[in-house]
Structure 1
Amino acid sequence: MGVEAIDQHTPQLGPEGIGLAAMPTALALVECASPAALRECGSRLLRDSLGLAWVECLFVEGSGRWLGRDHGEGRLDCDDFRHPYAHAIRRGAPLTLGVAEARTRLDHPDFQAQVAALPGGLRLQIRPLRALDGQREWLGALALAADDEAVERLADDAGFAAFEALLCRLWARLARSQGERQRSAALRESLAKLNDGARRQKLAERLAEALLGDSAAMQRLRSQVIRAAETNLAVLLQGQTGTGKDCVARAIHRFSARAEGPFMAINCAAIPEALLESELFGHAKGAFSGADQAREGLIGQADGGTLFLDEIGDMPLALQAKLLRVLESGRYRPLGASDERCADLRLVAATHQPLRERIRDQRFRADLYYRLGQFPLSLPPLGERREDIATLAQAFVADFCTREGRDEVGITPAALRQLRQRDYPGNVRELKNLVDYACAMSPPGADLDAAALPAEASETREPAAEAPLAAPSVAVDDLRQALRDFEAELIRQRLRYFDGNRALAAESLGVPKRTLAHKCRLLEVDAP
């Protein structure tokens, strides 16, 4: 804001005023870039020119209820008449009183702390400040302390009045300008978050092709994977065996800035301890018996990309220390080599081991655990997302048909029902193995049926045909599902009674055959 921006009606400072040269004063105030800087500059100019014992400029906060201070703690309630600022603002006029009188009559602790160091013989003057435009909003208050003569002289000083008017005009304009900038910044930030959220949502939808499932747990996991991929932090994947840690690691690499680089993976539990160090760090020629030529390890091969260490909980302690150095410095030394090498890689580690327990047992380094866990991710077991079993099973059937060159087939409702009922200690991997076995046992072109599933998965939990319908359980906590289960069981019993004849079963239930067929599809009920 330049000097020409000052309103032409602002009173001009003159040499007969408070002793401030007009142009230097105006320039000092106009060059202030913020209301806080303006308040500090104005207080300093008044204090230096008049030799006042104390000058402080307080501001009204956005709510209009509180007076804040640029220096010092505490804020003052504009409706609390235990301090003089409330009196001056409510009156809309300056308030003058002695310091000794203020200490006796006004007991606000923050105000008393402000004036504690002032001599009792001085006079206080509190001047409320308002914007000099059409809005006339309160800006704050100017507090002065001086002897009686100096305070009385201010009342008729035209230069002081001009200074105060200039201070208020500049303050109001800077406050409005700052508010507009803050609103613009907030708007830009909101738009950026909105665009960023939309971008992440699109990436998560693409990720659904690799990490299947519409359950809340999988949606949350996909969102976390996208977040992890945007960083270069080490990721620690924890979850039961068969939950898909390898798939998640590959997804993190695929959606990261290192996607064009290599993805190297190793299972630390599958390689003997004597060979694991060589696999990771590589070796020089002649490093050990049989090392006829130099070999680059996985750390070197992963340079510029991602290294996935599966089952890191089984890594020997000696190798853990060497891996920690790679993570902290990016440097490593192959076996038998004399020189160190550098590797720029992103590490993703996975384990089903309870690492905290292994730390207590001194089988895993605590410093490595905290370095690996910069971005921890927990993979949900299949038992916590049973609603995804149908989607996964259908995808595994399609994958089997593609691998074996068979025509595409489906999966019957009875088979899906029995797959949902099964416990899965092996999680998604176990489900895939079950589906592959059942597909292999099914005739080509035939849908996968419950009869093709292994015996422990095909044991039905339905009551015998002659058994009466079970009474509703008092522990029902989902009425809709309970009604669906009861209706499905009734239909199954009627179909068994009529040897699968849907026409007779529908007639006995008093519904059209088409309605019964629709309910059978909806409730996944098959004819016996």
Structure 2
Amino acid sequence: MTLPAANAAAVSQTLLPAELAAMPLALTLVESSSTVVLRQQAARLLQSHLGLALAECLYIEGSGRWLGRDSDNVQFDCADFNHPYAHVIRSGKPLTLSVADARIRLDHPGFQAQLAPLTATSQLHIRPLRAVDGQREWLGALLLVGQAATLTALIDNPGMAAYEALLCRLWSRLAREQGERQRSQVLQDSLTKLNDGARRQALADQLADDLLGQSVAMQALRRHVIRAAETNLAVLLQGETGTGKDRVARAIHQFSGRAKEPFMAINCAAIPEALLESELFGHAKGAFSGADHARAGLISQAHGGTLFLDEIGDMPLALQAKLLRVLESGRYRPLGASEERCADLRLVAATHQPLRERIKQQHFRADLYYRLGQFPITLPALSERQDDIAQLAQAFITDFCEREGRAEMGITPAALRQLYRREYPGNVRELKNIVDYACAMTPEGADIDAYVLPGEQQETAGQPVVSTAEPVALALSDDIDDLRQALRDLESAIIRQRLQRFGGNRAQAAESLGLPKRTLAHKCQLLELDIK
């Protein structure tokens, strides 16, 4: 029922209480699911049932500084008296003024935009809204626009007061419920993140048996591997040679949702260019000379699983374009085939080359680089994780003994000090080769000692380092500036060579040098050879 504009007294005494007290109207408000819906419903009911030109509920946001509207992003500063809402909030009292006066006296842009569609003969009535229980916190303001007689009838009407009280009570209750839900959701999100973090950490700890090391760099790498495994993004592994990119690729597959499907790997630098395309895409029978039967490529064999392309920086440009199409469309065509096939796989690529430099040199496609690098992982060099050398060395020793059927052996502190002092351009792979050699040179029942470690293969500070695997060659040099140190180095090299000659038999080495065994042991202790 629409309220007529005339006869305000009759409206006040008859229609208004009945309309505002009607059960359907109250139920409409009570059934509101949120404060936003409540404000919109309350304004719509007032506007439609009372014949108002406009009705709107504005809300005070959390800080208490701004009044906001649900219909747009306009906000009104509660301390800015260029709009009437500040007067109402500050005084706590209703305010009535004509649209014509408001246009002249108040110049707030947002408020003037509200007035723009209204007629100059209309009046504004703004009422402050506060919670009726608790600390009576501010909720917002109610804007009513209509003819003067209609608004006058509403001001002191008990039905309007009841409607306003119901609105404020429901608003306050919904705000508390929403706040509790938000707090509950925040708590739930925090618990979820905590549980996810604990789950990922547990998985990363499982990886520690395969990706060895407790250094900060390795712990971070294992976490990255777990996060990568949770996605289907293409992974680009970058790092120096010998850092374990193959192991990381297999770990990503092992902890992914594709773990039960195939893991196929190929080294792009190890296959001739003419054969690489056939290896990847396969070929149909008769596709080229010698193709006597059809052959599935690695892309087909890796369907549902993971394809690992090692040294992808060496892939020919023409093949890079075909690989990019597979990644973008999920389709490929074997050599000589007439129909395309689908490729459902996860790609992990690896390289030790600086691909950005390869792009500048036009040896690598930029679009493929960005497609491969959806989840980039950089593997740390051994120089960044020296704390892991002892654990790695012992693991390599254990692996050697199991592989070669040797009794368990350890490694002396002197040998470890030698390993810590070395440089490893070949990283973990070089360390493994050194330990394997030392294991092979160590007598049964003994621990790896410093004298069995192979010498450095590089020059240090411009001077060649004597290899203990070769006879000691003496040469006079004008570069010697510390005779004592030179003699100490020479003595150390001679003892190392002699121990190696006699397979670590210290008694025979001492006899061959014309020294008592105790003297040799003392010299080895001074030279950090750990001879006992």
Q: TM-score of the superposition, structure 2-length normalised?
A: 0.80
Which deviates further from its counterpart, 419-428 or 175-184? Answer: 175-184
After TM superposition, the structure 1 stretch with the greater mean CA deviation from structure 2, 306-315 or 361-370, is: 361-370
1:291 maps to what in 2? 291
| Alpha-carbon distance in structure 2 between the residues aligned to 1:410 and 1:109 | 82
Mean alpha-carbon deviation: is it higher for 298-307 or for 350-359?
350-359
Match of 2:502 in 1: none
Please state whether the residue corresponding to 2:96 is helix, strand or coil: strand
CA distance in 1, matches of 2:47, 2:421: 83
- Give 1:136's aligned amino acid: R
Q: Which position in structure 1 is the counterpart of 2:73?
A: 73
| Cα deviation code 1:365-420 (max 9, x no counterpart) | 22222221111111111111211122211211111111111111111222222222
Verify the 8 A CA contact 2:268 2:312 in the aligned structure 1: yes
Which shows bigger deviation, 373-382 or 105-114? 105-114
Does the 8 Å CA contact 1:18/1:50 hold for their aligned counterparts?
Answer: no
Match of 2:233 in 1: 233
Q: Distance in 2 between matches of 1:21 and 1:131?
A: 20
Indicate the structure (1 or 2) with the bigger Cα radius of gyration.
2
Aligned residue in 2 for 1:275: 275
Matching residue of 2:314: 314
Q: How far apart are 1:359 and its partner, in Å?
A: 2.1
Native 8 Å contact 2:94 2:127 kept in 1: yes
CA 1:346–1:30 in 2, change beyond 3 Å: closer, same or farther? same
Deviation at 1:432, TM superposition (A): 1.1
| Separation in structure 1 between the aligned mates of residue 161 and residue 14 of structure 2, nearest angstrom | 11
Q: Deviations over 1:55-91 (max 9, x none)?
A: 3211122233332221222433334444433332233
Question: How many angstroms apart in 2 are the aligned matches of 1:367 and 1:110?
Answer: 47
- What residue number does 2:90 align with? 90
Query: Which residue in the other structure is 1:397 paired with?
Result: 397
Whole-Å separation in 2 of the counterparts to 1:376 and 1:307 = 16
Residue in structure 2 matched with residue 251 of structure 1 by the alignment: 251
1:109 Cα deviation (Å)? 4.5
Aligned partner of 1:194 in structure 2 is 194
How much identity, in percent, do the aligned residues show? 71
Q: Find out whether 1:64 has 2:33 as its counterpart.
A: no
Contact 1:15 1:21 in 2 (8 A): no
Q: Distance in 2 between matches of 1:191 and 1:155?
A: 50
1:164 maps to what in 2? 164
Q: Secondary structure at the match of 1:414?
A: helix
Q: Aligned partner of 2:143: which letter? A: A
Structure 1 residue 151 displacement after superposition: 2.7
Number of matched pairs? 466
Indicate how the Cα distance of structure 1 residues 499 and 118 shifts in structure 2: closer, same or farther if over 3 A, else same.
farther
Shift, 1:327, TM fit: 1.7
The residue number in structure 2 matching 1:37 is 37
Which residue is 2:151 aligned to?
A: 151
The answer as to whether partners of 2:59 and 2:69 remain within 8 angstroms in 1 is: yes
Deviation, 1:527, is 7.2
- List per-residue Cα deviations over 1:273-326 (Å, max 9, x = no partner): 111111111122222222222221111111121110001111112211221222
Q: Equivalents in 2 of 1:78, 1:330: separation in Å?
A: 57
**Alpha-carbon distance in 1 for matches of 2:388, 2:338:** 53
Distance 2:122 2:337 in 1: 82
Which amino acid counterpart does residue 336 of structure 1 have in structure 2?
G
Between the aligned partners of 1:465 and 1:40, the Cα distance in structure 2 is 94
Q: Structure 1 residues 48 and 465, CA, compared in 2 at 3 Å: closer, same or farther?
A: farther
In 2: Cα distance, 1:128 partner to 1:527 partner: 92
Could you tell me which runs of 5 or more consecutive residues in structure 1 were left unpaired when the two chains were aligned.
1-12, 468-497, 506-523
Change (3 A) 1:179 1:227: same
Map of 2:127 onto structure 1? 127
Are the equivalent residues in 2 in contact too, given 1:277–1:319 (CA < 8 A)? yes
- After superposition, what is the alpha-carbon deviation per residue over 1:16-38, rounded to whole angstroms, capped at 9, x for unaligned? 43855713322332332211111
Supply the distance in 2 between the matched residues of 1:18 and 1:367 (Cα, whole angstroms): 71
Kindly tell me: are residues 111 and 401 of structure 1, through their superposed partners in 2, closer, same or farther at Cα, counting changes over 3 Å?
Answer: same
- Residues of 1 paired with 2:208 and 2:86: CA distance? 61
Kept in 2, the 8 Å contact 1:241–1:427? The answer is yes
Please tell me the root mean square deviation across aligned C-alpha atoms, in Å.
3.0
CA distance 1:102–1:435, change in 2 (3 Å): same
Whichever residue aligns with residue 94 of structure 1, its letter is P
Residues 236 and 374, structure 1, Cα contact 8 Å, conserved in 2: yes
CA distance 1:441–1:311, shift in 2 (3 Å):
same
Q: Is the 8 A contact 1:325 1:331 kept in 2?
A: yes
- Cα distance in 2 for residues equivalent to 1:397 and 1:82: 82
Corresponding residue for 2:242?
242
Cα offsets for 1:443-469 (capped at 9, x unmatched): 222211221112227879xx98967xx
Paired residues of 1:18 and 1:160 also in contact (CA < 8 A): no
CA displacement at 1:108 relative to structure 2: 4.5
3-state SS of the aligned residue for 1:350? strand
Aligned partner of 1:479 in structure 2 is none
Change (3 A) 1:286 1:124: same
Matched, 1:435 2:439: no
Paired residue for 1:224?
224
Output the CA distance in 2 between the equivalents of 1:329 and 1:248.
26
Distance 1:126 1:18 in 2: 23
- List aligned pairs for 1:443-458, cutoff 5 A: 443-456=443-456
Question: What residue number does 1:55 align with?
Answer: 55
Distance 1:242 1:404 in 2: 23
Superposed, 1:406-421 pairs within 5 Å as: 406-421=406-421
Query: Which residue does 1:425 correspond to in 2?
Result: 425
CA contact (8 A) 2:236 2:376 kept: yes
Matched, 1:324 2:324: yes
Matched residue, 2:183: 183
Given residue 438 of structure 1, which amino acid in structure 2 is its aligned partner?
A
Structure 2 distance, partners of 1:22, 1:526, is: 99
Name the CA shift for 1:14/1:122 in 2 (closer, same or farther; >3 Å).
closer
